[in-house]
Amino acid sequence: MKDLIIHVCMGTGGISAGGREVLKTFQDLIYSMGISARVQDHCKTHKVGCKGLCAKDVLVDVEIDGDVTTYQYIKPEMVQRIVEEHIINNQPVKEWVVTEEYHNFHYKQVKVVLSDCGKIDPEDIEAYLAVDGYKALQKALDYSPIDVIEIIKKSGLRGRGGAGFPTGLKWELCNKVSSEQKYIICNADEGDPGAFMDMSVIEGNPYCLIEGMIIGAYAIGSDTGYVYIRAEYPLAVERLKHAINQARERGFLGKNILNKGLDFDIKIKLGAGAFVCGEETALIASIEGQRGMPRAKPPFPVYKGLWGKPTVINNVETLANVPYIIRKGADWFASFGTEKSKGTKVFSLTGKIKNSGLIEVPMGITLKEIIYDIGGGIENNKEFKAVQTGGPSGGCITKDMLDLPVDYESLAQVGSIVGSGGMIVLDENDCMVNVAKYFLTFTQNESCGKCVPCRIGTKRLLETLNKITKGEGKEEDLALLEGLSNDIRKGSLCGLGQTAPNPVLSTLKYFRDEYEAHIKYKKCPAKVCKDLLTFTINEKPCTGCGACLRACPTKAITGEKKKPHYISQELCIKCGSCFDVCKFKSVIKE
């Protein structure tokens, strides 16, 4: 054996599954058994960022002389066997090796932003330099700023934060503005429920974000940049700070970068978790020390942004694409995707899906390919019902649209958006009225309150949805929901309010029958809305074991031992505890 490299997934998911303990166990065993001393060239055991298939963490790569074996669900107590049988005796532990499902998960992916995540140590700049890190910066500084902008324009890169505005055009507009001071801001305020793309990119490869920001700063003529990142991402913040310090030490940040006359440095601004600060003007206000509230546009930030100066704002994924485009060329990037949606897109695949995790796919791939070929289908073999894309600002897409291409235009046509990349899969047990209520609860809570349509309109929408899920809805409420939603979209000041009604409108359009069932029949077809549920006990299967009686918090269940039990509807609070504990399926939920 000449080379031994062990990669342990240490993104947030990997750490939660026990990655730190697994890594330490590997390091301790390899040292105590003298393996590092016997390896001729080098022995490395280190952390890496998210490897993608979070559902199978902790994921571990064991690479011996270039031959890589990946293990899944690894616990600290499993490490010794891997060391003894695989590393020492060259016999991989087959029952712990990833299955075909793991390879299928990656087969249709095309990784650009994630190409080095899960492969390099995110806290070691040497690891990034070894995969050609910062070579794009060196290359860019040999071009003029206009040449850099033209490359980005030719690549077709559009903003990956939601709106999809052409990145090169935004840079060009800012470049043309005459000002002694300009700013570039990375929007890492990822607040969508179920979204963890930007967090994972920073945790896995903060260097590509930094490099992309430096190139962007050169293109527009900025000497100061900010990364606005939420404080709820402590690991990402820690690794980003470390990477920025390393960049300064190596001359990639600071004065006269690479002796090319470029002065640029990056500051970090921690956000307090307000969803509205993902909107660019609210974000700017927060950096300035004001309350995070949006302002009317125009003027747009490229003309009048941070402290009134020209400012470019891009999200993490957008900026992380830049080094790869500069290094490999605009034509290479534009070869992926569709005519109007070039390149790849990172998504967090969550919900009722077998293979939840972080994926990167070419624009134009179908939803069916993502959910079934990559995601492995619906967990517990349930029936697919819908997929929510774009988070609270997006909409629900039904099973009839599974062949829909995933790109900006196609999703917009069916009432949803690509958004920043959240993708939540729903199955037959999900109530679409309740889903709409969930997202409206989120956006109503996150409304800054500045404009009436969003502040009051979302509150009225939520009140109406609450009535419907409690069985108090009326038929005219459906017209109210539609009319109010359209008014909110037209009258709200910023994107949060303008898109807040999307979950309501899309579920009304495609799942109107569920709304009608709640209103007309006072029933929830998915048996989710508890105010519309009734729990009873079927006498024949009931053995009188007493499990339901003991679980009931209100003593609504009575009955003698080994005789059928009964539920008092007056005392029942519909918590479902009896249904959950009954082994004989005697409790009926209707």
pLDDT, position 288: 96
Which tens digit of pLDDT belongs to each residue from 159-173?
998 778 999 999 999
Q: Can you give the CATH number for the domain in which 486 is found?
A: 1.20.1440.230
Give the pLDDT mean for 174-180. 96
Q: Are residues 404 and 544 in the same domain?
A: no
Give the pLDDT mean for 245-250. 97
Q: Is residue 114 part of a domain?
A: no
Q: How many domains are contained in the chain?
A: 5
Sign of CA dihedral 444, 448, 454, 457: positive
Q: Are residues 437 and 420 in the same domain?
A: no
Give the pLDDT mean for 482-510. 93
Q: Are residues 230 and 85 in the same domain?
A: no
| Residue 3: pLDDT band with limits 50, 70, 90 | confident
pTM of the model: 0.93
CA 292 to each of CA 220, 288, 298, 445: distance values in angstroms, whole numbers, following the listed order? 25, 9, 18, 14
Q: Are residues 286 and 138 in the same domain?
A: yes
Give the pLDDT mean for 77-90. 93
Domain boundary (63, 98, 133) is at 98
Which tens digit of pLDDT belongs to each residue from 290-335?
999 999 999 999 999 999 999 999 999 999 999 999 999 999 999 9
Q: For 455, how many CA atoms within 13 A lie in the half-sphere containing its CB?
A: 7
20: exposed, middle or buried (C-beta count within 10 Å: 0-12, 13-18, 19+)? middle
Q: Is residue 171 part of a domain?
A: yes
Higher pLDDT, 374 or 32: 374
301 upstream amide cis, omega within 30 of 0? no
Q: Can you give the CATH number for the domain in which 411 is found?
A: 3.10.20.600
| Residue 419: pLDDT band with limits 50, 70, 90 | confident
**Considering only CA atoms, which of 521, 542, 538, 517 is closest in space to residue 589?**
538
Phi (first) and psi of residue 3, to 5 degrees: -125, 135
pLDDT, position 1: 57
pLDDT mean across residues, the chain: 93
Q: With 90 as the cut, is the pLDDT of residue 420 above it? A: no
Q: Are residues 329 and 355 in the same domain?
A: no
d(CA 336, CA 321): 13
* CA angle at 421 for the pair 132 and 17, rounded to the nearest 5°: 75
Domain boundary (382, 397, 427) is at 427
Q: Is residue 544 part of a domain?
A: yes
Q: Are residues 439 and 423 in the same domain?
A: no
| Residue 148: pLDDT band with limits 50, 70, 90 | very high
Q: With 90 as the cut, is the pLDDT of residue 95 above it? A: yes
pLDDT, position 38: 57
Q: Are residues 168 and 303 in the same domain?
A: yes
Q: Are residues 555 and 538 in the same domain?
A: yes
Q: Can you give the CATH number for the domain in which 537 is found?
A: 3.30.70.20
549: exposed, middle or buried (C-beta count within 10 Å: 0-12, 13-18, 19+)? buried
Q: With 60 as the cut, is the pLDDT of residue 242 above it? A: yes
DSSP state string for 295-338: --SSSPTTTS-GGGS-EEEEEHHHHHHHHHHHHH-HHHHHTSB-
Which tens digit of pLDDT belongs to each residue from 346-368?
999 999 999 999 999 999 999 99
Domain boundary (279, 303, 334) is at 334
Q: With 60 as the cut, is the pLDDT of residue 37 above it? A: no
Q: Are residues 313 and 398 in the same domain?
A: no
Q: Can you give the CATH number for the domain in which 194 is found?
A: 3.40.50.11540
Q: With 90 as the cut, is the pLDDT of residue 33 above it? A: no
Q: Are residues 275 and 404 in the same domain?
A: no
* Coil, strand or helix at 482: helix
Q: Is residue 322 part of a domain?
A: yes
Q: Are residues 145 and 262 in the same domain?
A: yes
Residue 256: both structure tokens together: 């006269």
pLDDT, position 161: 84
Q: Is residue 112 part of a domain?
A: no
What would you report as the CA-atom Rg of the chain, rounded to the nearest whole angstrom?
27
Which tens digit of pLDDT belongs to each residue from 427-463?
999 999 999 999 999 999 998 989 999 999 999 999 9
pLDDT, position 194: 83
Q: Are residues 314 and 213 in the same domain?
A: yes
pLDDT, position 41: 56
Q: Is residue 445 part of a domain?
A: yes
Comparing 72-81, 132-141, 386-395, 467-476, the range with the smallest average pLDDT is: 386-395
DSSP state of 564: -
Range of the domain at 556: 533-589
Q: Is residue 528 part of a domain?
A: no
Sign of CA dihedral 104, 107, 109, 115: positive
Q: Is residue 115 part of a domain?
A: no
